[in-house]
Amino acid sequence: MPGDRAESAGPAFQRLVWLMAVTAGLVVANNYYNQPLLAEIAEDFSTSERAAALIATLTQVGYAAGLLLLLPLGDMIERRRIISVLLVASSGMLVAFALMPALHPLMLVGFLVGFSSVVPQFLPPIASKLAPKGQAGRAVGLVMGGLLLGIILSRFVGGVVGGTIGWRTLYLVAAGLMLVLLVLLRRALPVMEPTFTGSYRGLLSSLGVLFLRHSRLRVLACVAALQFGAFSLFWTTIIFHVERSIEGEATVVVGLLALIGAVGVLAAPMAGRLSERLSSDTILAVSGALMVAAFVLMGLGGGPLYWVIPAVVLLDLGMQVSHVTSMSEVLQLEPQAGNRMNTIYMVIRFAGAAMGTFAGSQAWHFFGWTGVTLLGVGITAAALVVARSNRFALTAATPHDGGSSRET
């Protein structure tokens, strides 16, 4: 069978993992191009920075909704087929975003861009399933490295390239890339038989069953939500902070900051290997402490760039290592329900991102940069507390799964 681990070993598997890593990065970038362009979009539509920030918030809400409603289908429908459909839909939404003539329709399409851009989250379970024995963590780490690099470099591309060619042209180019990926993945991905045989309603109901069954999943998801919320509040507000210091060049500067932060992504494959050797609790403690230190640095002296630059490296490094470690563990908790386990983890994580984006815009509006950095310190410190505590991992009875599985 094409999906067997034995057949996945060797150069062919390595090429597939690299293709999945590139795909994850390019598709997830659709959700973040707008962040360094918010000031430019606000100017184009003659609206406030606070109103423009809602585009970023709604895009992340759309992504969370897509994770909840679409990602579980990877256990129920042949994965190559659903990935193909989503890439076509994503391309269409990106074209629509580029052509929107008014702000409110743009917000709605922003939601749909996020909703249709969930392909990257189908890929880590595929990498974990196809990897040779003992290499699942490395394969997931490489795919996640591509995804995380896409998140960070999307801000560089949005800031530098989008600031040069215009945000509308950037979105049209992104739409074309989705179709290129469609062709490549159709040729490279093996056919993978679904593992869930129940109804769609039963599929969604099983998410609650899995959430109650795995206390470790609840802890890891809560930590991820807090950390990604802090990460998102920073990247949503940094454009406004820089704009006040460097008028006219803020978009390019934020893009360059994102490029600097990409150094942290180099740790993603390493985190996949570390997850096979060290306890995840140890890794989460160290990476969480890096994120707290990052926000402390950002707040020093009112936030000059010479403090923000090293803080960005620490922030990205901490979040990437924590996320890759957590996801590797989540996917191993119940492999036959990999897409659904990933759904629960990622929906909670992106709900945290959406709340962080919204809270960051409010903190900026009312309290400026000091409010943003203090909020960041508080959220990342809370993530450390949750990671070291079992208060959020209450034991629960394990109810019967509402659907059958071909692997159990």
Whether 23 and 183 have beta carbons less than 8 Å apart is answered as no
| Residue showing tokens 């809602």 | 54
Helix axes 79-99, 103-116, angle to 10 degrees: 160
Tens-digit pLDDT profile for residues 234-269 = 988 888 888 777 766 676 777 777 777 777 666 656
Q: What angle do CA 93, 353, 61 make, to 5 degrees?
A: 35
Give 50: exposed, middle or buried? Use CB within 10 Å, 0-12, 13-18, 19+.
Answer: middle
- Please give the residue that has the higher pLDDT: either 134 or 68: 68
Q: Express each pLDDT in 212-238 by its tens digit.
A: 999 999 999 999 999 999 998 998 888
Q: What percent of the chain has pLDDT over 70?
A: 86
Distance, CA of 15 to CA of 326 (rounded, Å): 25
Q: What is the mean pLDDT of residues 27-34?
A: 90
- Output b/e per residue, 92-120; b: 16+ Cβ within 10 A: ebbbbbbebeebeebbebbbbbbbbbbbb
Name the residue with tokens 């940094």.
238
pLDDT exceeding 90 applies to what percent of the chain?
36
Give the pLDDT confidence score for residue 97 in this predicted structure: 94
Q: CA distances (Å), 31 to each of 237, 241, 374, in order?
A: 16, 21, 26
The model's pLDDT over 348-357, given as tens digits with 9 standing for 90+, comes to 998 898 899 8
**Mean pLDDT (whole number) for 21-39:** 88
DSSP label at 196?
Answer: B
What is the rounded average pLDDT of the residues 8-25?
83
Residue that wins the pLDDT comparison between 257 and 3: 257
Q: How confident is the model at residue 382 (pLDDT cuts 50, 70, 90)?
A: very high
Query: DSSP string spanning 159-190?
Result: IIIHHHH-HHHHHHHHHHHHHHHHHHHHHHSP
- Distance in angstroms (rounded) separating the CA atoms of residues 391 and 63: 28
Could you tell me the residue ranges of all domains in the chain?
10-190+199-387
Please give the pLDDT value at position 117: 94
Question: Which of the two residues, 211 and 57, has the higher pLDDT score?
Answer: 211
In the predicted model, what is the mean pLDDT of the chain?
83
> Has residue 151 got a pLDDT over 50?
yes
* Residue 1 confidence (pLDDT) above 80: no
Q: What pLDDT is stored for residue 325 in this prediction?
A: 84
d(CA 218, CA 124): 19
**How many other CB atoms are there within 10 angstroms of residue 193's CB atom?**
11
Q: State the alpha helices, DSSP H only, in 262-396.
A: 267-274, 280-299, 305-333, 338-387
- The model's confidence at residue 145, banded by pLDDT at 50, 70 and 90, is confident
* 3-state secondary structure at position 394: coil
Distance CA(11)–CA(182), nearest Å, equals: 22
Which residues, other chains included, contact 173 with Cβ-Cβ below 8 Å and sequence gap of 6+?
none
Q: How far is CA 1 from the centre of its chain?
A: 31
**Selecting from 1.10.1740.110, 1.20.1250.20, 1.10.3430.10, 3.40.50.10470, what CATH number does the domain 10-190+199-387 have?**
1.20.1250.20
- Report pLDDT digits (tens) over 34-51: 887 887 888 888 888 778
Residue 45 CB-half CA count within 13 A: 23
> Model confidence at 401, in pLDDT bands (50, 70, 90)?
very low
> Facing residues of 405 across strands?
196
Q: Report the predicted TM-score, pTM, of the whole model to 2 decimal places.
A: 0.74
Would you give the distance in Å from CA 32 to the centre of its chain? 10
C-beta separation of 56 from 236 below 8 A: yes
pLDDT, position 404: 40
Which residues, at least 6 apart from 34, have a Cβ–Cβ distance to it below 8 Å? 41, 55, 56, 59, 110, 158, 167
Greatest CA separation for the chain: 60
Computed from CA positions of residues 382, 388, 389, 395, in that sequence, does the dihedral angle turn out positive or negative?
A: positive
pLDDT score recorded for residue 265: 63
Flag the least confident range among 243-247, 278-282, 319-323, 360-364: 243-247
Is pLDDT at 179 greater than 90 in this prediction? yes
Rounded Cα gap, residues 41 and 47, in angstroms: 8
What pLDDT score does 269 carry?
60
List pLDDT tens digits, range 295-346: 999 888 676 777 888 888 889 888 888 888 888 888 888 888 888 898 899 8
What is the number of other CB atoms lying within 10 angstroms of the CB of residue 277?
Answer: 8
DSSP summary character for residue 198: S
Cα 122 vs. chain centroid, distance in angstroms?
Answer: 12
